[in-house]
Structure 1
Amino acid sequence: MTDTIPIPPPAERGSSTLSFLNPAAPEPWASFVEQIDRVTPYLGGLARWAETMKRPKRMMVVDVPIIRDDGSVAHYEGYRVQHNLSRGPGKGGTRYHPAVNLNEVMALAGWMTVKNAALNLPYGGAKGGVRIDPHLHSQGELERVTRRYTSEIGAFIGPDRDIPAPDVGTNEQTMAWMMDTYAMNTGVTATGVVTGKPIPLGGSLGRHEATGRGVFLAAREAGRHRGIDPRGARVAVQGFGNVGGMAARMFFEAGSRVIALQDHSATLYRDAGIDVHAALAHVAAHGRLEGFEGAETIGDDDYWQLPMDFFVPAALEGQLVAERARKLQARIVVEGANGPTTPAADDILQERGILVVPDVLANAGGVAVSYFEWVQDFSSFFWTEEEINQRLERIMVGAFDSIWKLAAERKTSLRTATFIVACQRVLAAREQRGLYP
């Protein structure tokens, strides 16, 4: 932590968030700053600029008032943080969740800076959110929240300034409302102001599946280096939304045995393997894993001690804490969520010889295809889904191979190697641009 950035207390967790999503973890921004401190000794002459990474460029806290369906006036707190813009416009999702707070959004924006630089995308890092439980609001209320929030941050976003995208609790419809609101306020239909849009509004084929697909590709490459074939491998996935669900599906279709799934409603286990297609159909129909009959329900403590080859934490940040890291019986952890592993847990996993593919590499498939969408919008020329998937695989595998090689050369973890690559790119841009005035 720096002593110059005031951090608000964490928001109270909403009643819809079960205990497995609230372990005793350090604040996300503190974890991010510790990661920067750990990589600084590897940066050579660029270390003099390292403080740049610990000071977000711009932080906005906005009031989002709406009239609810019952006629009452409700106020929600919204955020947008632009962490670093040295390499290009800000890029990062917009989250709707009852536990969203400034501390979390700051960290998520920082991780976006690292993620974009690690893949060498021409973006800086940004993130946004509104403290709201979307499950307790009607579609009309969510539209009004989205339009008011977009208007409040509208002066700071744009296709060449800061480009939001979907995240937890938001989707392509949210992005359509954001794009339309921006157009109404500026008088210009700029499709590139957001990514993750519906296809008819300039969205990209393959975007919805991209983050989960990237997680699987990262897992496949890690397994290749560790001699673990996905076919027949035992896999557990925490979080069964867009990212976890897609990753689980790709493992399943590759012949893996997906033995455990966990979401906010249930922890499911079947040693012979869960039919992921059936589980996805159940969630599509009921909104949760609870009630799925294709596996047995187990306790949270048992879940963390299941023998597995791949573990994919794809829920929220701070899930893999030290206590859980000591119990975990996985060979490879592939981070589908942002910041799921605390620094203390990272150390324990490394001591135990468990390979961790960090979030800033493993879940970068989403922003990679967001970049493809942004490029397609500018050119008004769109690629096929096959072309999208091929380009995604090429960029993910290329980044993984270069980071794996650096980790071997410097004898560091993959996380440290990813941060070295990213920080060198960001801070070199900062140094070359200089300071104004």
Structure 2
Amino acid sequence: MKDVWETARYYLKVAAEAIDLEPEITERLSTPMRFVEFTIPVRMDNGDKKLFIAYRSHHCDALGPCKDGTRVKPDLTPEEIKALSMFMSIKHAIGDIPAGGGKGGIKADPYSMSKGEYERLIRGFIRRLVPKGAMIDVPGADIGTGEEQMAWMLDEYEQITGMHSPAAINDKPVALGGSKGGYEATGRGVALCTFEACKDLGFEFDKTTVAIQGFGQVGSVTAKMLFEKGFKILCVSDIYGAIYDPKGINITNLLEYVKKTGKVVEFPGAQSIDSRKIFELDVDVLIPAAVQDVITEDNADRIKAKLVVEAANGPTTPEADAILSRKGIRLIPDVLANSGGAIVCHFERIQGLSNDWWEEEKVYQMLEKRILGAYKEISSIAQELKVTRRTAAWAYALRKIAEAMRLRGWS
């Protein structure tokens, strides 16, 4: 597949065929119900004005208001945003969340901008975003954005409306109405799915070897939870390189090292290896936790792992997916494995609407109940339909979305 949008539509088509979904519904879900492109003028520090292109995609709001994600990167494309909004529709339905899929983005390089320039860009995004609000469209964080940027968004929204509205923006700092456990949510969900899949496969945790591609917010949280359960993590990589230790990497020490240096390379006691080799290591579990399209038809046949857990969005191409299936490799798809963030964003919105803030333990208990409940349902559907877990996950979500569309008279 040439791009992630084509991949998303392909997965939709395969799942729709598996459950005999009406062609009319499939057609409506094959394109966003609303896609906007707009520009943001920003006064740069040198006095010049620069124009940035931004996007927002609402895939389908049959289940509820669209929400999540704001991605900022220089090579952003409209197709990427459309695909990610579709993924969010699927994740929300999988997590039993009454929301539709939303995704936004700005074509810019945040690392080439001063903090002041970046703040003006982010505030401009919210000013120009229409529609918006807790009951319509709720932006959240993604690549290039985090708690600080969400705080700017919330403040700008509240300055515009003249009222406090913590439920209007997700992924905020706790002090501004964010949910406890929000930072760890996606990685925690990945770890929970990994635990469950290993149990299904009969793996003993302390004898299970792992390789993790990506050691950012998601990969590091996942690694920490696996390490604490006794998993032996042999290899970890980030944008600077990969490290390998056949005896297992001490993740507690690695986290401290990364906190000081900002990278995993040259971690004492581990050897450096080519980052591309991480997919060919003889490990039990492979967790791609970085970017899309890293497992392709060029390397899928060399994967030795018995279990692949997709912590990133779209890390496996459809061609590679077919190869892994043919080889009998168990795969936990992204729309399930990394849905923990979407689930806790839902909890964040609930807390913001009710002004009732939960303790971290409650957030974790609710997250585990939701994601493992979905895991079991999807496993059952995979057996029922005799399809892969990816197709089963999409089918599980499509059944819910389609039912809401029928009830609304949309088909």
> Is this a same-fold pair by TM over 0.5?
yes
Moved over 3 A (4+): 45-48
Judge conservation of contact 1:191–1:201 (CA < 8 Å) in 2. yes
Q: How does 1:2-401 map to 2 (within 5 A)?
A: 26-44=2-20, 46-153=22-129, 155-401=130-376
| CA distance in 2 between partners of 1:268 and 1:65 (Å) | 42
Describe the superposition over 1:349-405 as per-residue Cα deviations: whole angstroms up to 9, x where unpaired. Answer: 000011110000000101111111111111111111111111111111111011111
Give, in angstroms, the shift of residue 416 of structure 1. Answer: 0.7
Give the aligned residue type for 2:25.
Answer: W
| CA distance in 1 between partners of 2:34 and 2:226 (Å) | 39
Judge conservation of contact 1:215–1:362 (CA < 8 Å) in 2. yes
Give the aligned residue type for 1:268.
Answer: I
Judge conservation of contact 1:115–1:361 (CA < 8 Å) in 2. yes
Judge conservation of contact 1:41–1:47 (CA < 8 Å) in 2. no
Describe the superposition over 1:27-61 as per-residue Cα deviations: whole angstroms up to 9, x where unpaired. Answer: 00000011111112222354441111111011111
| CA distance in 2 between partners of 1:318 and 1:180 (Å) | 35
Describe the superposition over 1:226-255 as per-residue Cα deviations: whole angstroms up to 9, x where unpaired. Answer: 111332311111111111111111111111
Q: How many equivalent residue pairs?
A: 411
Unmatched segments (≥5 aa) in structure 2 = none
Judge conservation of contact 1:46–1:424 (CA < 8 Å) in 2. no
| CA distance in 1 between partners of 2:254 and 2:46 (Å) | 36
Describe the superposition over 1:87-117 as per-residue Cα deviations: whole angstroms up to 9, x where unpaired. Answer: 1000221112222211111110000001111
Give the aligned residue type for 2:46.
Answer: D
Q: What's the C-alpha RMSD, in Å, of the aligned pairs?
A: 1.5
Give, in angstroms, the shift of residue 276 of structure 1. Answer: 1.6
2:387 equivalent among 409, 412, 430: 412
Report sequence identity in percent. Answer: 36
Give the aligned residue type for 1:127.
Answer: K
Give, in angstroms, the shift of residue 327 of structure 1. Answer: 1.1
SS at match of 1:315: coil
Describe the superposition over 1:56-96 as per-residue Cα deviations: whole angstroms up to 9, x where unpaired. Answer: 01111121221222333222221111111111000221112
Give the aligned residue type for 2:58.
Answer: Q
Judge conservation of contact 1:279–1:294 (CA < 8 Å) in 2. no
SS at match of 2:188: helix
| CA distance in 1 between partners of 2:16 and 2:245 (Å) | 44
Judge conservation of contact 1:220–1:229 (CA < 8 Å) in 2. no
* 287-296 or 321-330, larger mean C-alpha shift: 287-296
Give, in angstroms, the shift of residue 136 of structure 1. Answer: 2.1
Q: TM-score of the superposition, structure 2-length normalised? A: 0.97
| CA distance in 1 between partners of 2:121 and 2:386 (Å) | 48
Describe the superposition over 1:170-202 as per-residue Cα deviations: whole angstroms up to 9, x where unpaired. Answer: 111111111111111122221101111111111
SS at match of 1:62: strand
Judge conservation of contact 2:70–2:103 (CA < 8 Å) in 1. yes
From the superposition, tell whether residues 401 and 141 of structure 1 become closer, same or farther in structure 2 (CA, over 3 Å).
same
| CA distance in 2 between partners of 1:134 and 1:282 (Å) | 25
